[in-house]
Structure 1
Amino acid sequence: MQTNAWFESLPIAPIGSWEPVSGGDINEAYRVIADGIPYFIKVQPHQSAQYFAHEQAGLKALGAVINTPTPIASGDLDGNAYLILNWIDEGPEDQTALGRAVAKLHQQHADQFGFTTNHRTKVLLKDNHWNNDWRDFYVNQRLQP
């Protein structure tokens, strides 16, 4: 759990309020209001700023096709990596839009399966090296690990 001083050191200011939010099990997550603007902030304790580089690359790639949270800033404070994203309000009508976005995303095709970077969670390396065969990618780079 972060402190007021930690939040006040973020590159968004002035911080009006912050509160923990739920929804994930890997990172600490917060809703922060800074200068009247809401933000979603993810924090990974005891990690360098590089920790969120993979997520930012993924959001950028997905954002070329569908609306995704936009990275505002990232870095680390006191040895804790953070990623600041725009806050997206949700509501019941968003489920239909989500379904359409997922369908649009799955209409995209590539010659290979994978991604430009790998990512490590606390216990698992997500091996994203490019693979010409979907079945091999899924079995050996997702299921077996």
Structure 2
Amino acid sequence: MGGVLIPEELLSGVSVEGVSRVHGGDIAAAFRVDTSEGPLFVKTHPRPGPDMFAREAAGLRALRRHVPGEVGVPRVVRELPSGLVLEWVEVGPVGGGDEEVLGRALAGLHRVSAPAFGAVDESLAGFVGSVPVDLTPSDSWLDFFVGRRLCPLVARAVDEGAVPARAGVLLERCLSRAEEWCGPVEPPALVHGDLWAGNRLVDVRGRHWLIDPACLWAHREVDLAMMRLFGGFGEGCFAAYGEVFPLAEGWQDRVAWYQLPPLLVHAILFGGGYGASVMAVLERYS
């Protein structure tokens, strides 16, 4: 996407003083736009999925409503099918910020609940990265996780050759114990949905910010499993979380189970060794 330009409609009426390309993840093109009223963050994609940016904006708004104030969430300045304009966050040095503050804030976020698992608003279609996911609400976390996440993602990964056909056989074996692997029943929690370290910023004042969400009502352990998948979060963060909102017994045995969806998404999008990682997890739980 080296030649991607910012669509004119995203900056209509804005007094632009400068534009520079910045790192914005693996899916969208990202820019810093300096304006007469200060810098903005702009992200766009030449071929965005239907409502892809609308879903991100909905997630940002949900987080802004419910994340404790010690942790920031960028304000949505403009939302269009072609992209988003967001509040700019001036990122500080790597390793800044108090991880315990983040852990306590996540525990507070996960205490926010809803009647059902699934979408945070009226839209039933969501995305993880650029991969579509079904957010149709369900009263059962087991039904939602298996029927709306695991099975569709494994089927797509097999169809696209990201994992071998044997993945479907292993998944069928896993499902016989899926209720056990999903853990004790808990109320739906508001989760970020894609909480790897790249979607957590620390600004120049040491404040943590959450960005690029794929929000839904889910089991809270999905966020914590994602945080452990690629690293980047200190043990102080998890310890502080546990002090505020302790995890149910056996959570360690469920971490890899809840890492399956992001591993499948990465296998679909990027290939490489992610397919082998998916197979290893399926073998473990089958």
The question of a shared fold, defined as TM-score above 0.5 by the shorter chain, is answered with yes
- Structure number with higher relative contact order (C-alpha < 8 Å, ≥ 6 residues apart): 2
2:70 is aligned with 1:71: no
Q: Deviations over 1:78-101 (max 9, x none)?
A: xxx110000122331164443332
Counterparts in 2 of 1:48 and 1:138: CA distance versus 1, 3 Å: closer
Alignment partners' CA distance in 1, 2:13 and 2:99: 30
Counterparts in 2 of 1:62 and 1:127: CA distance versus 1, 3 Å: same
Give the gaps of 5 or more residues in structure 1.
none
Where does residue 140 of structure 1 map in the other structure?
147
The answer to whether the 8 Å contact 1:111/1:132 transfers is: yes
Q: Which amino acid aligns with 1:124?
A: V
Counterparts in 2 of 1:123 and 1:3: CA distance versus 1, 3 Å: closer
Query: How far has the Cα of 1:13 moved from its partner?
Result: 2.4
Counterparts in 2 of 1:130 and 1:65: CA distance versus 1, 3 Å: same
Where does residue 160 of structure 2 map in the other structure?
none
The answer to whether the 8 Å contact 1:11/1:73 transfers is: no
For the residue of structure 2 that corresponds to 1:64, the secondary structure is: helix
Per residue, is there more helix in 1 or in 2? Answer: 2
> Alignment partner for residue 110 of structure 1, among 114, 119, 127?
114
For the residue of structure 1 that corresponds to 2:115, the secondary structure is: coil
Q: Which region of structure 1 is more displaced relative to structure 2, 42-51 or 104-113?
A: 42-51
Query: How far has the Cα of 1:136 moved from its partner?
Result: 1.8
Q: Percent identity?
A: 32
Query: How far has the Cα of 1:45 moved from its partner?
Result: 0.8
Where does residue 45 of structure 1 map in the other structure?
46
Counterparts in 2 of 1:125 and 1:63: CA distance versus 1, 3 Å: same
Query: How far has the Cα of 1:47 moved from its partner?
Result: 3.8
Query: How far has the Cα of 1:64 moved from its partner?
Result: 0.9
Counterparts in 2 of 1:13 and 1:101: CA distance versus 1, 3 Å: same
Counterparts in 2 of 1:133 and 1:35: CA distance versus 1, 3 Å: same
For the residue of structure 1 that corresponds to 2:83, the secondary structure is: strand
Where does residue 98 of structure 1 map in the other structure?
102
Counterparts in 2 of 1:83 and 1:107: CA distance versus 1, 3 Å: same
Where does residue 33 of structure 2 map in the other structure?
32
The answer to whether the 8 Å contact 1:12/1:34 transfers is: no
Give the gaps of 5 or more residues in structure 2.
154-286
Query: How far has the Cα of 1:30 moved from its partner?
Result: 1.1
Alignment partners' CA distance in 1, 2:54 and 2:22: 22
Query: How far has the Cα of 1:60 moved from its partner?
Result: 1.4
Where does residue 10 of structure 1 map in the other structure?
11
Query: How far has the Cα of 1:104 moved from its partner?
Result: 1.4
Query: How far has the Cα of 1:124 moved from its partner?
Result: 2.8
Per residue, is there more strand in 1 or in 2? Answer: 1
Alignment partners' CA distance in 2, 1:123 and 1:39: 23
Query: How far has the Cα of 1:73 moved from its partner?
Result: 0.8
Where does residue 119 of structure 1 map in the other structure?
126
Residues matched between the structures, number: 140
Q: Which region of structure 1 is more displaced relative to structure 2, 10-19 or 128-137?
A: 10-19
| TM-score, normalised by the number of residues in structure 1 | 0.79
RMSD of the alignment, in Å?
Answer: 2.7
Q: Which region of structure 1 is more displaced relative to structure 2, 86-95 or 114-123?
A: 114-123
Alignment partners' CA distance in 1, 2:36 and 2:100: 32
| TM-score, normalised by the number of residues in structure 2 | 0.43
